[in-house]
A and B are shown apart, each in its own frame.
Chain A
């Protein structure tokens, strides 16, 4: 069950749109925040609150890549590998993180702290290479920076 706070938040979101259905995407992010990923139960609850058929929520959730359909670690590292970041060494960034955490892309560390993903453009080309960890951007990355960032995340 979604917490009361999450339900309230979704209900608040619906007031921003002329039709409730429009709130499906932000509502799914609320679910993702609540459970760490978009759960089956969460999708059903969103459908119920928005008065939609569950399949419609499922369609949206599976269409967009930024909804996690599987559990992720406490810190979800998403490295941009689009053109600007790639030119400035996104592959290298991924390699460093893989080596330091001992996991491959799409994997989660055994202590469930980190999940590593490659993503498409995050709109921060001017500060490439970059990555996003949970809701925060880390830009103009270098190896020592990555080292510090990972150490700071307990």
Chain B
């Protein structure tokens, strides 16, 4: 500890604390310009200079640590004059075009000049000019280089956090400026984090350009809807139109960073395509009608199904709020008396149980920062850079500041590979066997310590050759991975849902975790979710076998696949889809279409027209996350507030609609005045939420369990052992089962599917957000250069891709992100309906549709048609 005197005020503070932070603690704010708390230190602007008594020269407080006995003056006449001079120097070349600058009103240079700056300047020289007109740097960035003050924040965030490093500082001296390579169009994440950190109006958002002034905007702090990371962001609207999304430095786990989807994926909210009026089917067409009529039609359809003894099913999207998901399951279970309820995650009962057990989901988990306080981070079964971009940023930023071995295991390359010590490429669906190989090596070296390891007999047959043959991974990689793991004391295993979308045996993972714990290592588990409220959906009981609060039941309910399957046999009398587009989500699109045709009555509650809404008997307009209050639960079980920025465009929020339907069915106890009231009801049912209410969730949310109102929430849980009496896991072991469809002579390539960083799920939201749609307008099939030569196909060439189930024309993108023999297609584009090709073979154990892997062939178009 060091005792220092700041402006005469004595404080005792940790050694190594920066003067800047110490002064803040003492209650003195030192202005800064180039400084950014989460970036490397530069100390180039000299605005934060302070006087240290006894030292002749002023020191930059943003890099100078305190020393015991130090006396610092932050407001002495010398400091004030130096500060003013530094600001004057920043302004020497900075154009005074504030009236036409987008940054006006929220410009850090403007604020600092107003507060501390000189009121006049003697500089009469011409200002430096890089360009007369602003130039476009990327689909989302427009640059005015003249306004740049060389703080290099954009350069630092691009390289250190985002990890693409496309911005740099060119030239020298007075001519220095930040820009791209030869000022060319950027090929990057288009995340806009450089715009966010730019203190002046040098880097500006193209979509927000000349749209508004900050003081005309009405903003609310809410949570992003695009993935399980759960970033906090601020949605800003002018009149009833959302014009910008920004993030605040000190709020949320994302700390000011957002990805392209989060920052630019908002235009769908005010899209002209929005479903705003309820519609009811009249013969072959859907006709607009009133809410009363639509709800009456829903009541009639549901009642008819009940009266005829037909099955009723409900599938709700995991982008609905916890409150809505809770109401939806209440409607299904309490009113319609059925357990046929699921979220669109395509997870079956057994799958959720396996995953929840291995990842210890129902017991809680870790915050991401605790999970990253580790020696080795193993990321398995998740395209993290594309699916959870901000988690990717957080990992990169943390790993840059400390020694942490990142091991990536995935079928397809991704950006985080650059930060990894080891990237293991394997065939899709063989994650379990990779873990088996690592485990085998560890077991062989520690046979004595691991003699009681459950399930060890299964390792006998697992030879080196067998692992390499199944996974197509070099054995050295697996050896290296086990080496890193064994050399670490703390190991974090981050597992995404991919491992459950393929018929891969991940029991080895459970064994590995147990083995490492027996060997005295600290193993932390971190689940990765691809949808914003996937965890919330499970916790709210939107699942046939789970009641709110993870109360597992052995019910008779059907999951999403079971419902579709029953529908195809004509057994489903009514199906209620809340925000789900099953036609583009379901692995076998042809089959799902047939199932919807056989469904007597289909209600779709959604915000935008999709493939599925075309089959609806009644369409109820949904509300986007910007139009309602509620909560989302992110991957680290943090419950965060979603707030209303604008009134529901369709007139009703989703929770109001569900209540209306319940009321029409004659239910009395489903009337609420606000989502907060719904939350209070559900919190009363689940002890882990008992101490949570909406008010308490401000500003950063709460991690459950939170059993009573005074409880602060829980950040770390059950890191020592499994929550079983003997501390060991149960085993339910099976051999690796190859994919139902493997490549052969006729269909020689493996097609694996997933997401792109620019889009989300069926793309109905992201494709309506121009700023990001333009980044990836057309889906293309990724093909390794080796295969491109083999089939004589060029980059950007259109080919006919076909499987045993369907065919589609698609553009080819030749890239080494995929391994030879493997192709990749995302499922975001309505024009490229990937599920016409994929396989709906269910994993024999988990019943997960095989969405990750099937066999296809590609043919040149001119030879075919």
By a beta-carbon cutoff of 8 Å, the part of chain A in contact with chain B is 40, 43, 53-56, 58-59, 62-63
Cα of A53 to Cα of B165 in the assembled complex, Å: 7
Number of A-B contacts defined by CB within 8 Å: 28
A63 x B171 contact (CB < 8 A): yes
A58 x B181 contact (CB < 8 A): yes
Contact flags (1/0) for B144-176 with A, using CB distance below 8 Å? 000000000000000000000111111110000
Cα of A56 to Cα of B167 in the assembled complex, Å: 9
A/B interface sample: 10 pairs, CB < 8 A: A43-B181, A53-B165, A54-B181, A55-B167, A55-B181, A56-B165, A58-B168, A58-B181, A58-B182, A62-B171
Cα of A53 to Cα of B167 in the assembled complex, Å: 10
Cα of A54 to Cα of B182 in the assembled complex, Å: 9
- Chain A residues, Cβ within 8 Å of B362: none
Contact flags (1/0) for B668-689 with A, using CB distance below 8 Å? 0000000000000000000000
Interface residues on B, range: 10 to 19
- Chain A residues, Cβ within 8 Å of B181: 43, 53-55, 58
- Chain B residues, Cβ within 8 Å of A53: 165-166, 181
- Chain B residues, Cβ within 8 Å of A63: 170-172
CB distance from B148 to the nearest CB of A (A): 14
CB distance from A35 to the nearest CB of B (A): 15
Tell me the nearest residue of chain A to B186, going by C-beta: A55
A59 x B182 contact (CB < 8 A): no
- Chain A residues, Cβ within 8 Å of B488: none
Cα of A58 to Cα of B176 in the assembled complex, Å: 13
**Chain B 276-301 residues near chain A, CB threshold 8 A:** none
Tell me the nearest residue of chain A to B171, going by C-beta: A62
Tell me the nearest residue of chain B to A61, going by C-beta: B170
Cα of A58 to Cα of B165 in the assembled complex, Å: 12
- Chain A residues, Cβ within 8 Å of B165: 53, 55-56
Cα of A59 to Cα of B166 in the assembled complex, Å: 11
Cα of A3 to Cα of B167 in the assembled complex, Å: 29
A55 x B171 contact (CB < 8 A): no
A55 x B172 contact (CB < 8 A): no
- Chain B residues, Cβ within 8 Å of A58: 168, 170, 181-182
- Chain B residues, Cβ within 8 Å of A59: 168-170
Tell me the nearest residue of chain A to B158, going by C-beta: A55
A56 x B172 contact (CB < 8 A): no
Tell me the nearest residue of chain B to A59, going by C-beta: B168
Known: A40-B182, A58-B181. 17 other contacts (CB 8 A): A43-B181, A53-B165, A53-B166, A53-B181, A54-B181, A55-B165, A55-B166, A55-B168, A55-B180, A55-B181, A56-B165, A58-B168, A58-B170, A58-B182, A59-B169, A62-B171, A63-B170
CB distance from B702 to the nearest CB of A (A): 40
The interface residues of chain B, by DSSP majority, are classed as mixed
Tell me the nearest residue of chain A to B172, going by C-beta: A63
CB distance from B180 to the nearest CB of A (A): 7
CB distance from B112 to the nearest CB of A (A): 27
A62 x B170 contact (CB < 8 A): yes
CB distance from B130 to the nearest CB of A (A): 12
Cα of A53 to Cα of B166 in the assembled complex, Å: 7
Cα of A53 to Cα of B187 in the assembled complex, Å: 12
- Chain B residues, Cβ within 8 Å of A62: 170-172
Cα of A40 to Cα of B184 in the assembled complex, Å: 11
Cα of A121 to Cα of B364 in the assembled complex, Å: 67
- Chain A residues, Cβ within 8 Å of B180: 55
For the complex of A and B, the 4 pairs showing the least CB-CB separation, nearest first, are: A55-B168, A54-B181, A62-B170, A59-B168
CB distance from B182 to the nearest CB of A (A): 5
Tell me the nearest residue of chain A to B175, going by C-beta: A62
- Chain A residues, Cβ within 8 Å of B167: 55
**Chain B 182-207 residues near chain A, CB threshold 8 A:** 182
CB distance from B66 to the nearest CB of A (A): 34
Q: Which of A43, A53, A56 has the most CB of B within 10 A?
A: A53
- Chain A residues, Cβ within 8 Å of B169: 59
- Chain A residues, Cβ within 8 Å of B182: 40, 43, 58
Tell me the nearest residue of chain B to A56, going by C-beta: B168
- Chain B residues, Cβ within 8 Å of A54: 181
Tell me the nearest residue of chain A to B169, going by C-beta: A59
Cα of A54 to Cα of B172 in the assembled complex, Å: 18
Cα of A56 to Cα of B171 in the assembled complex, Å: 12
Cα of A40 to Cα of B170 in the assembled complex, Å: 14
Cα of A40 to Cα of B168 in the assembled complex, Å: 15
CB distance from A52 to the nearest CB of B (A): 9
Cα of A55 to Cα of B166 in the assembled complex, Å: 6
CB distance from A84 to the nearest CB of B (A): 23
Tell me the nearest residue of chain A to B173, going by C-beta: A63
Cα of A53 to Cα of B170 in the assembled complex, Å: 14
Cα of A59 to Cα of B167 in the assembled complex, Å: 10
Cα of A40 to Cα of B171 in the assembled complex, Å: 15
- Chain B residues, Cβ within 8 Å of A40: 182
Cα of A62 to Cα of B165 in the assembled complex, Å: 17
- Chain A residues, Cβ within 8 Å of B166: 53, 55
- Chain B residues, Cβ within 8 Å of A55: 165-168, 180-181
Cα of A127 to Cα of B165 in the assembled complex, Å: 45
- Chain A residues, Cβ within 8 Å of B172: 62-63
CB distance from A138 to the nearest CB of B (A): 28
CB distance from A40 to the nearest CB of B (A): 5
Cα of A63 to Cα of B165 in the assembled complex, Å: 18
Tell me the nearest residue of chain A to B183, going by C-beta: A58
Tell me the nearest residue of chain A to B182, going by C-beta: A40
Cα of A40 to Cα of B182 in the assembled complex, Å: 8
Cα of A40 to Cα of B166 in the assembled complex, Å: 15
Q: Which of A40, A54, A55, A63 has the most CB of B within 10 A?
A: A55
- Chain A residues, Cβ within 8 Å of B171: 62-63
- Chain A residues, Cβ within 8 Å of B170: 58-59, 62-63
Tell me the nearest residue of chain B to A44, going by C-beta: B181
Cα of A56 to Cα of B165 in the assembled complex, Å: 9
CB distance from B164 to the nearest CB of A (A): 8
Cα of A55 to Cα of B179 in the assembled complex, Å: 9
Tell me the nearest residue of chain B to A57, going by C-beta: B181
Cα of A143 to Cα of B562 in the assembled complex, Å: 96
Cα of A113 to Cα of B181 in the assembled complex, Å: 30
Tell me the nearest residue of chain B to A55, going by C-beta: B168
**Chain B 736-756 residues near chain A, CB threshold 8 A:** none
